[in-house]
Amino acid sequence: MLCLTQRSEAQFLDCAKDPARVTRLVAISAAAAIHIAAMAPGRYSLLVIHDENRNGKLDTLLGMPREGFGFSRNPAMRMGPPHYGDVHFVVEGHSRQSVKLKYLL
């Protein structure tokens, strides 16, 4: 699953509340490259989840992700989610993001 959003700094992780979000469900075999056309210029953040059990959410155990996840700009992971400043990127024409999934458990 992926979610591309223009949510503000305080809300970038809450993709479902962004009416302008772009989401995709992509089979892992087809996930090598995903094209999203006609993006308006602006600041975006990208969240990718390997939804292994296909329940539509990131499963956690004691607050730690049990499934793979990744963010635009591949921030270093510390305790808790990354800061908006570590994941946002600017689109001015063509933009490319390469996201590396991380597995903690």
pLDDT digits (tens, 9 = 90+) for 38-93: 888 999 999 999 999 999 889 999 989 999 999 999 999 888 889 999 999 999 98
Distances (CA, A) of 39 to 3, 15, 22, 70, 104: 13, 17, 10, 21, 32
Structure letter (DSSP) for residue 57: S
Backbone angles phi, psi at 52, to 5 degrees: -60, -35
What pLDDT score does 33 carry?
Answer: 80
Per-domain residue ranges for the chain? 2-91
